[in-house]
Amino acid sequence: MTRLTAWVHGSVQGVGFRWWTRSRALELGLTGSATNLADGRVEVVAEGPKDHCARLLAALRSGESPGRVDHVVERWSEPRGDLPGFVER
Q: Could you list the active site residues?
A: 18, 36
Residues in the chain: 89
CA distance 18 to 25: 10
Q: In terms of Cα–Cα distance, which of 22, 80, 89, 88 is closest to 47?
A: 80
